[in-house]
Chains A and B, each alone.
Chain A
Amino acid sequence: MHDKTLTELAAALAAGEFSSRELTQSLLGRIDALDGELNSFITVTAEKALADAERADQARAKGQAGPLTGLPLALKDIFCTDGVKTSCGSRMLDNFVSPYDATVVEKLKQAGTVCLGKTNMDEFAMGSSNETSFYGPVKNPWDLAAVPGGSSGGSAAAVAAGLVPAALGTDTGGSIRQPAAFCGITGLKPTYGRVSRYGIVAYASSLDQAGPMARTAEDCAWLLGAIAGHDLRDSTSVARGVPDYQEELGASLSGLKIGLPKEYFGDGLDPAVEAAVREAVRVYESLGATVREVSLPHTHHAIPAYYVIAPAEASSNLSRYDGVRFGHRCDAPKDLIDLYERSRAEGFGEEVKRRILIGTHTLSEGFFEAYYKKAQQVRRLIRQDFLDAFEDVDVLMGPASPTPAFDLGAKKDPVSMYLQDIYTIAINLAGIPGISVPAGFAGSRPIGLQILGPLFAEPQLLNVAHQYQQATDWHRRQPAFGKENA
């Protein structure tokens, strides 16, 4: 059962081949057997999952099953879940049990899905390798010496290893697409505002967006349909109807205009990654698409702009972790300042502290204009680059990451880690949707093709990815890890 897509599992449940309880039990068994090595889960909610599966089976017996009823999922530990620890990968929230559900969690519950647990992640979603987690790094099931990517590394590894058919991640600068690429799965970052942020622990509010991570674009379409939509509790969610994401999936790609941003094929791009991406583009040409080179001239400003805006917002968003009301509190504080200083010094890891310091600095008097204001101006230019490009082409394609997964512990210098996100970060600054799909391997390590579309073009984007997956089988490959536990 563990190697099936959500779509296949839904069909099997509907046909009565097995029950949700059997499926859930089987996957919990795999987690039990394999995750000690992988470390992709922070919390496994086995009892709740079995009870939910039971309920789903009963609903099905009464003829009340929807398309997602009884399907097992996992949630990045950034989504608030009522009564379940929500750590955000941090010691700061190691003791935090959320008293409420995030909007997307509510929606998935209503759809009848079964949550197996909360997946590992970079602390407060700050990282590109999952190595900043308080709960230790996650390993890449394709190569246990490699990182799974980050920050949604636990979700990506769990799906790739067949511990769960799909999971939710969040993407602030590539945190869904890059780990999806590193782990050989499909991951979609929706348009900013498409999915409610209510109940998602905030990192950088103007960039954060939740999205599905699964084996196929079709599975992502199912999940996006379940979680998308306007939410009165999130003022930045967009009041716009949710289309049927399945409906577009059959459309032909004949006449599709693909743009290849020349800035995405420059220095620092691993030759194996470039070769795989160019091969994927040839597959699209064979499906009737036309290809042209385009330019996104402000691309090289994206990382500097991001590392001003995201830490600025983070420095403010993370101020609430002060040891006063919830989260980590130091022992025996001698006064208020001591309480703040030690609780935060002990509760936050290095990378989080680094970004809080950067953000605090760039917002301070005398620097605000030079950094924050300037970065916002750059952000507008980057957004304009994409709007201009989409005047001429339907989608943009390029690598999701300049290299395949790197070794655990390989990137000690924070800036070299930040450069990992060179192809993903601009997309968050522009607010547009992007998807990463498996498109080959460099040795044992997967390579991801990134496809970008205009604002709210998820139906077209998912279909473009889906058509590729109809023509190729990269997404069906399974790692050797865990095969014997079938």
Chain B
Amino acid sequence: MMQWETVIGLEVHVQLSTRSKIFSGASTAFGAEPNSQACAVDLGLPGVLPVLNEAAVAMAVKFGLGINAEIPEVSVFDRKNYFYPDLPKGYQTSQMYHPIVGPGEVEIALEDGSTKRIRVHHAHLEEDAGKSLHEDFHGMTGIDLNRAGTPLLEIVSEPDMRSAKEAVAYLKAIHSIVTYLGISDGNMAEGSMRCDANVSVRPKGQQEFGTRTEIKNVNSFRFVERAIVFEAERQIELIEDGGKVVQETRLYDPDRDETRSMRTKEQANDYRYFPCPDLLPVVLDQAYVDHLRSSLPELPAEKRARFQDELGLSAYDAGVLSSSRAMAEYFEAVKEVCGDAKQAANWVQGELSGALNRENLTIDQSPVTSTQLGELIVRVMDDTISGKAAKEVFAALWNGEDDSADAIIDARGLKQVTDTGAIEAMIDQVIADSPVQVAQYRDAEPEKRGKMIGYFVGQVMKASRGTANPQQVNALLRQKLDNL
């Protein structure tokens, strides 16, 4: 049977988190009453003119610097002409010929821990359209222009991805770069990040690309993966059955988990691009670009490397903890408080992530602050509490029982008993209460005694309600039992 290879290129649309729109002063906030955030410019009234929002330019340039891209000195806005009810001017202002960000690259982490570089062809600025609302209007269509004019950065990759998993990894890498840079909230559910996937297949080893299809407007990591998997299978089946892939635009339907044809190449619009005469070319001087460069935060790839090299974390841990800026900042804050990167990594990925997942929260919504968690870890490390008690304290912090680990430890009396006298008293009691077990222990071969001591440790810990230091209990028990 023929071995097939999938070839994928992504066009990712990222909504930039400017306060106002790309060409007008109207607000970009999500979720307002329909058409309450559309001014004369957004409505495309006769006579209005666009004025470029400098904040959108700065964000686009930051992205370019973040992927080590060329930043051309001059970029130009073009008009993409087509009719659509939620496109008020009858054209979208975009950048066709001279985009603001030139070629760059993004490093993605693969499942086996290795990395791969995906080339970015360019990224350009453009305005978003409004929304057509087909429900609730009884056979008519409602138009909401709140989103019209929201700045988008369209990031166009080279066809460098070879599997749906790589495509998702790339999308996640873009997501983490834009959120690290603070240029987008990356909220896919609200449409802040959407993507079009160009998919083709070819026999393994073949140089030329197959005919590609474009899957439009996929808006979650999961759907991107499923849409690509479906589409690649569809194409392979088609070719194996003697058919040919048609270059066309397809739509992914998540309910049916399939893609279907929207329009073929012949039906494609001629967008009649030409330079927008209302906007001057954007000229960026070196000082401006340098200034933005100096303001860049440490980006995910750098962080991942530093977590491995300087903090000694595993590739996996470093990858997870650098995956989002919020996660990395939380982890680093915990590490700062407790002073131990490995402990901090274990807690953030273990107890904290588990609780967040259970309640479907993001790390910014965590009820336990990084300081609280750091202080809790300190108490484990200095033997104030046992690991088991620590989990109890964490749960109490999560539930908001008190402000600090120490307060909860005190209130619940979880302080580990390290007073030898107190532990010895408990041991004596357990030994007195367990004559059968003691007899068995005494009769056992010394090499089997190690296993048997577990029972006594358990009893003592139970008696201490978990507050006794288990190592101490263990040592004292051995002493006593062996000397009976």
Contact = CB atoms under 8 A, between A and B. Distances in A.
Interface of A: 79-80, 86, 88, 93, 96, 98-100, 102, 197-202, 204-206, 232-236, 312-313, 315-316, 318-320, 322, 324-326, 336, 340, 360, 363-365, 368, 372
A320 B85 contact: no
Contacts of B91: 316, 319
Interface centre among A99, A202, A235, A364 (most CB of B within 10 A): A235
B2 to A, nearest CB: 36
Contacts of B209: none
A96 B272 contact: no
Contact of A236 (B46, B89, B278): B278
Contact of A320 (B52, B90, B143, B277): B90
B54 to A, nearest CB: 12
Interface in B44-102: 44-52, 79, 81, 83, 85, 88-91
A137 B273 CA distance: 35
B31 to A, nearest CB: 22
Contacts of A80: 45-47
Contact of B43 (A200, A233, A325): A325
B223 interface: no
B272 A98 contact: no
A96 B46 CA distance: 9
Contacts of A322: 83, 85, 90
Contact of A99 (B45, B81, B274, B278): B45
B271 to A, nearest CB: 9
Contacts of B296: none
B305 interface: no
Contact of A235 (B44, B46, B51, B143): B51
B45 A360 contact: no
Given A316-B81, A326-B45, 18 more contacts: A80-B47, A86-B47, A93-B46, A198-B48, A234-B51, A235-B52, A235-B279, A236-B280, A312-B274, A313-B277, A315-B272, A316-B79, A316-B272, A319-B90, A320-B90, A322-B85, A360-B272, A364-B270
The residue in A197, A233, A360 that gathers the most chain B C-beta atoms within 10 A of its C-beta is A233
B40 interface: yes
Nearest to A323: B85
A316 B90 contact: yes
B278 A235 contact: yes
Given A80-B46, A99-B45, A316 B51 contact: no
Return the 6 tightest CB-CB contacts between A and B, nearest first. A319-B90, A363-B272, A205-B277, A206-B277, A199-B47, A201-B46
A326 B47 CA distance: 13
A126 to B, nearest CB: 15
Main secondary structure of the interface of B (DSSP, over half): loop
Interface in B252-310: 270, 272-274, 277-280
B276 to A, nearest CB: 8
A325 B44 contact: yes
Interface of B: 40, 43-52, 79, 81, 83, 85, 88-91, 143, 270, 272-274, 277-280
Contacts of B79: 316
Given A325-B88, A363-B272, A88 B46 contact: yes
B267 to A, nearest CB: 13
Contacts of B51: 232-235
B85 A336 contact: yes
Given A319-B83, A320-B88, A322-B90, A98 B280 contact: no
A99 B90 CA distance: 20
A363 B274 contact: yes
B277 A363 contact: no
A372 to B, nearest CB: 6
B126 to A, nearest CB: 15
8 contacts: A86-B46, A236-B277, A313-B277, A316-B91, A316-B272, A316-B274, A326-B45, A363-B274
Given A236-B280, A319-B83, A368 B274 contact: yes
A360 B90 CA distance: 13
Contacts, number: 99
A234 B49 contact: yes
B272 A202 contact: no
Nearest to A366: B270
A360 B271 CA distance: 10
Nearest to B143: A324
A458 to B, nearest CB: 22
B45 A102 contact: no
A336 B90 CA distance: 14
A312 B81 CA distance: 11
A198 B24 CA distance: 13
Contact of A340 (B50, B83, B277, B278): B83
A340 B274 CA distance: 23
B272 A320 contact: no
A201 B44 CA distance: 11
Given A235-B278, A325-B43, A320 B49 contact: no
Nearest to A93: B46
A202 B47 contact: yes
Nearest to A340: B83
Contacts of B270: 364-365
A87 to B, nearest CB: 10
A98 B50 CA distance: 18
B277 A200 contact: no
Given A235-B278, A312-B274, A102 B47 contact: yes
Nearest to A199: B47
A456 B431 CA distance: 105
B49 A197 contact: yes
Contacts of A102: 47
Q: Which of B44, B52, B79, B278 has the most CB of A within 10 A?
A: B278
A100 B46 CA distance: 10
Contacts of B45: 80, 98-100, 326
B48 A205 contact: no
A321 B248 CA distance: 30
Nearest to B280: A235
Contacts of A316: 79, 81, 90-91, 272, 274
A477 B270 CA distance: 54
A357 to B, nearest CB: 12
A193 to B, nearest CB: 10
Contacts of A325: 43-44, 88, 143
Nearest to B268: A365
Nearest to B279: A235
Given A322-B83, A368-B274, A200 B280 contact: no
Nearest to A101: B47
A100 to B, nearest CB: 6
Nearest to A90: B46
A324 B277 CA distance: 24
A364 B277 contact: no
A201 B274 contact: no
A277 to B, nearest CB: 33
A365 B91 CA distance: 16
A16 B200 CA distance: 82
A198 B47 contact: yes
B272 A364 contact: yes
A92 to B, nearest CB: 9
Nearest to A312: B274
B130 to A, nearest CB: 10
Nearest to B52: A235
B85 A324 contact: yes
B90 A198 contact: no
Contacts of B280: 235-236
Contacts of B274: 312-313, 316, 363, 368, 372
A98 B46 contact: yes
